[in-house]
A and B are shown apart, each in its own frame.
Chain A
Amino acid sequence: MTWKRWSYMDHWITRTPQGPRQPSFNRKHTERYLRQLEALEFTGFDTFSFALPVYAGLYGSVGAFERVLQDHGFAGLTGVFSAYPYATDFAAPHRRETHDRIVADFERTAAAVEGSAVENVIVMPTNTYFHVEPVTDETIKVTAELWNRVGALLAQRGLALGCHFEFWGAIRTEEELALFFEHTDPDLVGFFCDTAQHTIAGVDPLALFRRYRERCRGFHFKDTHNVDDFEAYRTPPDAELMATGVPRWFYEMGTPGGLVDFPALMREILDSGFDGWLTVEHDKADLGGGDFAESTAVAKWYIDNVLASARAGAAR
C-alpha cells in the first residue's frame, strides 16, 4: 500500500505578462495551478485563512471553490492555516487581553469552512520570538490557555486544532514544546510537525513525532540546508526572509544537502498507524531563481520513487 493522502499547502507563483503573481488573481491561472497539482496526483489542498475570501471572491463562495477543487480530483479543501506573525494590540497569544479577539477570529474561520472537507485548522501558536521575549513559563502557559479555548470551539465543529512551530516563533526548544503540550489538553490541541522548521530550530522532528504521536494531526514535508545556530530566530525584523547570510531556508524534499531524513520519518509514520493527511509545503521556493512548479514536481517524484520504497522498510 503506498500512501495516497498527500495534500499540498497553497504556495504558488505563476508567470504573467505582468510579472510573477500568486495565481488567485484570476480563474484562468488558478485552474492552471490546480491542473498542475492534479497532474502530480495531490488529492488534498490546504490554504490560508486569509485566502478564503479571495477564493470565495473568485468563485462565489468557499463551497463553490471546493467544488472546483473536487472537479480537479481533490477530496476538497483539507486544511486551513492561520498565524499572527507580529504582535499587535489585537492579536498577541501571550497576552490574555487579546484572547477574545483571537477566539472570535477562529469562530469566523470555522464558520467559513463549515461543510467543507477541512479536518485541520493549523496555527502558528505564538508571535515572532522578539515580540514575545523574554519567553517564560508564564508566556507559554498564557499561550496554552488561548489554544485550549480555540481547540474547544473547533472541536465542537468537528475540526482539529494543530499547532505548527516556526523556528522563529516563541515556542521552539524541546523544553518549551514540552511545557506547552503539558499545559494543553491533548484532545483539543494537536501537534502539527513541520520537518524543516524543527530541524532549523535544532530539534529532531522524528523524535518529536515519537513523543507526541497520539496528538499529531499532520505534517508539513519540506527540507532545509541550514540549522539556525546564530540566533537568527530572535533577530528583528524577520528571520524567515531576512536572516543574515541565509537568503533561503526552505527546499523541497530530495535536494542535495537536505538535512531531514524523510525515509526514516516515513517508516515511523507508517508504523504508527497515523491516518491523516501528509502535506507537502514549498514556502518561498522562488528564491534564488527557484520555481514552485518544478520544486513541487520534483518533490512528488521523490515521494513516488524514494518514499514509496521507504514503505518497504516499514514492513520489516
Chain B
Amino acid sequence: MIEWSYAINQWKPSFDDFTRRRDHERALRVISISGFTGVELTTGTGRWEPLGNPEQLAANFGSVRGFADFVRDAALDRVSSWFYDPLLGFREDLSAPADPADPDAHASVRAHATWFASALADLGGQVLVVRPTASAWQRPQLDDGAIGTIAKCWNDVGRAIAPLGVRLALHFDFLSALRPDDGLERLIAATDTETVGFSVDTGEFVAAGLDPVAFIDRHPHRVAHVQLKNAAAVDDRDEYTRRNAEHHVRKGGGARPVPRWFLELGVAPGLVDAEAVVRALVAHEYDGWVTVESDLSPHPPTSAMLNGWYLQHVLQSIVEEAR
C-alpha cells in the first residue's frame, strides 16, 4: 500500500529561515491539508536547525516523542522518513563529515545512522534515506574497491538498524559520485538485497539522464523508498563534475543557467512522467512511502498545494484502480 508524505526541506532556503515554532506548525498544516499524511525530515546541525537531528528535536520539543505529538497535532499521521547526509558532520557531537567510500568513516556513519534510525522509530517512521557517498567532483573515480567499501558500510548500517523496524534507502542524486561508469548499478550488485534498499528520486534520476521507471522495473525488490519530484532539465553537459557543483550547478543553475532544476508534478516544462512512475510502483506491488519533494521552491506553500492537487486528481486514481 502506498502512503504519501511531503519533504520539509523546501521550507528552509537559507540558514536563518524556518526556525520558529509557528513556521513549523504552518508548514505541517499546509502539508496535511494538501492531502499528505506524513512528513519527511532532512539533516541539519546547530541551533538554527530545530528539526535537523534528534538532539535538536529534543531541545525544541522536549523529546523526540514530543515532536511526534507536534506532527500529529497538525493532523498528519507521522514522520515517514528522515534524509541523513553523512557528508554533513554535526556540531552536536563535533563529528567530521564522513564519506562511506572511506573505511575510516564507517564507524561514524554507523553511529549516526543508528542515532537517526532510533529517533525515527520513536517518530513512527519507517525509512532512513541516506546519501550513499560524496559527489562526483569530490570522488571522480569509484573503482570496484571503492564500490565495495561503500557497500560494506551500508550493509553494516542496514543490519544495525533493521531491528529498530527501520529500512535503509540509498538516495542517488544527479551530482553523485555513483553517476559515472554505472556506479549505481555496481553498488546495487554489491549491496545486501535484504537490508539495503534504494530511494528512487525521480527528479534526480531524470536530471542525471536516467529513467526512474526502468529502474523500478529492473530492481522492484530493492525500491525501499521513492522521492517523487519533477525535473525541468537534464545535465547533458556533465556539469556535475564541476568543482563545488552543489553551489554552482544545483543552486546556481550551471552554465546556461537552469533557473530551477526541480518543479511541481504535472507542471510544464517538467520531464518526469509521474503517472508512469506510480503505475510501475503499483504493478510491482510497492508497499511503502512515496515522498513528494520540491527542492529550492520559490514559494513552498504553493508547491505543496500544487503537488497536493496532482496527488488528489491524477495519482490517487492510479493507485485506487489497482486495488
- Chain A positions near chain B (C-beta within 8 angstroms): 14-15, 32, 35-36, 38-40, 291, 293-294, 297-298, 300-301, 304-305
Contact = CB atoms under 8 A, between A and B. Distances in A.
Given A39-B34, A301-B29, A301-B33, A293 B308 contact: no
Interface residues of B, number: 20
A210 B65 CA distance: 45
B306 A39 contact: yes
A276 to B, nearest CB: 23
A35 B306 contact: yes
A-side interface mostly: helix
Contacts of A39: 34-35, 305-306, 308-309, 312
B75 interface: yes
B301 interface: yes
B30 interface: yes
A301 B305 contact: no
Interface of B: 26, 29-30, 32-35, 74-75, 298-299, 301-302, 304-306, 308-309, 312-313
B298 A304 contact: no
A256 to B, nearest CB: 8
A44 B33 CA distance: 18
B299 A298 contact: no
Given A15-B299, A297-B34, A304-B33, A36 B75 contact: no
B27 to A, nearest CB: 9
Nearest to B267: A32
Contacts of A40: 33-34, 305
Contacts of A35: 305-306, 309
A246 B52 CA distance: 37
A38 B35 CA distance: 11
Given A15-B299, A293-B301, A294-B26, A300 B33 contact: yes
B33 A36 contact: no
Contact of B305 (A15, A36, A304): A36
A294 B29 CA distance: 9
Contacts of A293: 299, 301-302, 305
A305 B31 CA distance: 13
A38 B33 contact: no
Contacts of A298: 26, 29-30, 33
Contacts of B34: 39-40, 297
B219 to A, nearest CB: 32
B306 A32 contact: yes
Contacts of A15: 298-299, 302
Nearest to A306: B75
B19 to A, nearest CB: 15
Most buried by A among B305, B308, B312: B305
Contact of A297 (B298, B305, B312, B313): B305
Given A297-B33, A297-B305, 7 more contacts: A38-B309, A39-B34, A40-B33, A40-B305, A294-B26, A297-B304, A298-B26
Most buried by B among A15, A39, A298, A304: A39
A40 B309 CA distance: 8
Nearest to B259: A17
22 contacts: A14-B302, A15-B302, A32-B306, A35-B305, A38-B309, A39-B305, A39-B306, A39-B308, A39-B312, A40-B33, A291-B301, A294-B30, A294-B301, A297-B29, A297-B305, A298-B26, A298-B30, A300-B33, A301-B29, A301-B75, A304-B33, A304-B75
A32 B263 CA distance: 13
A32 B32 contact: no
Contact of A32 (B26, B74, B302, B304): B302
